[in-house]
Structure 1
């Protein structure tokens, strides 16, 4: 596994949204899905508002890899399930970054959304 560079972390962390494309079983990429992305320390995370039953989340489970674009970063990634011990810091990152969206932010802070927390790792 490669690590994120400092500039990648800064650019992804500052990006308002991320485009995520997961790989199908045959290795081709699905259409991009636009979503919120947060940085916590040296890690990058996404969540599904619809939880593990959400279509884009289910798509990440076939090969557990794909491609992202955010803030000028264009990178192949692996999808790793976050440990529940990471949820508190990820919640805080979502509140800090997107808290101004008061009618929407609570949707990524539910138990259902937390269960779908994926850590994006460069590959």
Structure 2
């Protein structure tokens, strides 16, 4: 099985593997969470915006929200995920929309979907 590359079109960069891309963007989300910062501009903001929008377009997720509101920021949040019957606290991203609403955003899941779309079998 060959490794799936991931192309982040917002910065015209190709990660050699899915895991490499996931680690890179997880580190950004973790830094936002640890520093309690909101990312509202710059290359990382553009990358996360592209990743979220691409994921939504590929999966038909939240398309009505994307049409009505602009993405104005990203931040790190703590949430609870169910894994193997247990509830595990985990850090993830949150998308902030221009209308003030927020939504959880798991970069791992989004990047995995993007890699699958970019590397069909």
User: What TM-score do you get using the length of structure 2 for normalisation?
Assistant: 0.25
- Structure of greater relative contact order (alpha carbons < 8 Å, 6+ residues apart): 1
Q: More helix per residue: 1 or 2?
A: 2
